[in-house]
Chains A and B, each alone.
Chain A
Amino acid sequence: MKVALVFAGDSAAKPVLQPYRSLRFAGGLAAEGITAVLVDVDIGREFRFAPANHDAPGLVYYRNQVDRLPLILMQERPSVALTFGATLDLAPVWREGAKAGVPILHFVSSEGSINEPLAAVGPSSVRVPPQRLARAWHTRFASRHVAGLVGSNRADLGRYLCQSYFPRARFSIVAPPPTCPSAPDAMRATTGSAECPAFGFYDPEASESTLQFLLRAIDLTGGPPDRLTLRIAPAALAARVPEHAGHATFVDAADPADFIRGIDVLLVPEAHDRTLPTIAAALVARRIVIAPDTGSAIELIDYGRHGVLYVAGSAYHFAMAINVMTQSWRNRVISFEGIDAAIPRTAPEQVARAFGRAFRKAVK
């Protein structure tokens, strides 16, 4: 079976989608009897996103404007086309792709995800700019061309389907973001701080709002600042919150595994697919994780065994989770049971198997 992996818009060049262009992922698809064709399309005529790496030699690769997509698909004759990118940007891609008569699947990730619907129509809903509303309706209408969905997590998939996107989708399949953590046994020892754990946060792409949310939660813990150790990497993040720079130690780290050596508990203030490799690395190294109760992390973190989940978006609940961990540090009973079975489910080969399941279902 031949499939076209269509990466569209500037979001397709972001690191969170890079693993789906990797050699390991293509190899995983090949093992399932699937040949992949990579297609990069630009959506706006005036804008071209930076060329993304496709480190899979031997793969057929195209790059063109979105209006050329039907020609590419008709030339390659794939059984299925799978689109990647921020969902709200992809209306023209689905519309053009449908002209080729190929079943279209879409990959929903936390890149460009949408929020929960508002509680009620009222003054708060009026604040949404009309352009954004129009764009959302435009995308919703174009999403009728999508025959099925693959998603990195249930939460983002569910939000789109709840809000009437993809009305003709026949199925949805969850495939976690690929990770490939490996931790030598030496890493599995904790930092040895018996009194209080060393907390850490690692995300080179963290936004200012994410950092402020993290530091607000630290403030809300209410404990004496000298008792709570927080390390944030990379050090460049300090420039994004200059007014709070004294609340944490900003350090540099070559990669997540390198950073995790120096901490006991990984803090995850934002549910995003890009955080999953760091979470997986922490769990493999037997570090406790405090993460929001949404997104792809909840598939890995079992409460009490691997860490603590808190109500997503609530700094108060995040602070309470940190306090629970600090106060029970001496008596913690985190067993990490089942983690060695859970992590391999996020290996690129396993993820490719889930994609293979989606492709076969689409052509059935």
Chain B
Amino acid sequence: MAETGLSYGIAVLARFDPRLTRATLASIRAFVPQPDRIVLVVPQTREHLFADLPAGNDEGSERITTGDGEMLSAGIGALAPLVDIGIVVPEGVIFDADYFKALRRKVEDFEDRVGAIDLVHQVVKIDAAAEESSAELSLQDRPREPPIVSTMRALLAARSLLGAVFWVRTATLGQIRLAALPDLGEAIAYALALDALRARGRTEVGFTSNARHLRLIPERRSGYDAGYHLYRRLCQVTEAQRAEQALRGAKRLHLAPGAERARLIFTQAVRALASSANRHHATTFLKGALAARRDARNIDRTVQRDLRNMR
């Protein structure tokens, strides 16, 4: 007999595109049984984009408007008092019907599990220009990509660029401060939460084959800011890790920032060379990441020099 009577809630993080959010919500509506609570977390500055979405207008669902950085804590905060298991999913992640069943089995069979990140390595690319007129993104007639491509992505791609689902036992979250959510790379904020949860039970980072990540191509925006901020964030995680190490000794992290930085540069370099649709975005992303790397090194040098001068 499994742990019975657990209640589940899902927080959907609406970031930039209502079509992606709508597709994620539609995949959640296909779950049997339905989760006990659905929360749509909408960024304050782009609230108008998501005004037409159905979540928040029916029973068992709620809509929250909050600042961009606070979306993770707001979503979990809305679920924690009401459900035992909180699931956080960003827009663009499309669940298969089996996802919820598999998650329930995993959570209910092993009560020592307190949280996990399910990285989504299967990607569906949709030509945004062709779908521009449609408010609904249909996945029914889209073939799955060859398994070898997904496997290679799981092996080599930066985790922070993949779709990521985060679930947690809300009762174990007491006194844990959730990190601010970056514009890109939800996995970093999730991984920091898991690092804090590690002492309270089993935490895992793995890949799920029961979900797909929807990406709209071509990406015409410049990637400079995204690249700069993501790389800078990883540098900050490294610095925080060093400080923590001095206090408590070396601990394993769920997302090793050094390896992640290398993966990030590698992934974008491959995209810049191989993908004609995303070449501009990947190139500018790389420029941003390299600028952040340069800045981080300069800051390091300055700190080291100041410390030397103080002696």
Residues in A lying within 8 Å of B, measured CB to CB: 116-120, 124, 149, 151, 154-155, 157-159, 161-162, 170-174, 292-294, 298-299, 301-304, 308-309, 311-314, 316, 357, 360-361, 364
Contact = CB atoms under 8 A, between A and B. Distances in A.
A170 B199 CA distance: 23
B175 A308 contact: yes
Interface in B66-101: none
Contacts of A157: 111-112, 201-202
A360 B1 CA distance: 7
A294 B112 contact: no
B251 A116 contact: yes
A293 B199 contact: yes
Contacts of A311: 199, 248
Among A154, A171, A303, chain B packs the most CB atoms within 10 A around the CB of A154
B249 to A, nearest CB: 8
Nearest to A156: B112
B203 interface: yes
A294 B200 contact: yes
Interface in B1-20: 1-3
Interface of B: 1-3, 109-114, 171-172, 174-175, 198-203, 245, 247-252
B112 A172 contact: yes
Contacts of A299: 171
A293 B198 CA distance: 10
A158 B112 contact: yes
Contacts of B202: 154, 157-159, 161-162
A155 B115 CA distance: 12
A126 to B, nearest CB: 14
Contacts of A119: 245, 249-252
Contacts of A292: 199
B37 to A, nearest CB: 20
A127 to B, nearest CB: 12
A159 B174 CA distance: 20
Nearest to A306: B174
A293 B112 contact: no
Nearest to A169: B110
Nearest to B250: A119
A347 B223 CA distance: 58
A362 to B, nearest CB: 10
Given A124-B250, A294-B199, A161 B1 contact: no
A308 B175 CA distance: 8
A314 B248 contact: yes
A170 B109 contact: yes
A158 B113 contact: yes
B111 to A, nearest CB: 4
Contact of A364 (B1, B200, B251): B1
A120 B247 contact: no
B250 A118 contact: yes
Nearest to A173: B111
Contacts of A173: 3, 111
A138 to B, nearest CB: 23
A329 B171 CA distance: 26
A239 B2 CA distance: 48
A118 B250 CA distance: 7
B252 A116 contact: yes
B201 A158 contact: yes
A350 B199 CA distance: 25
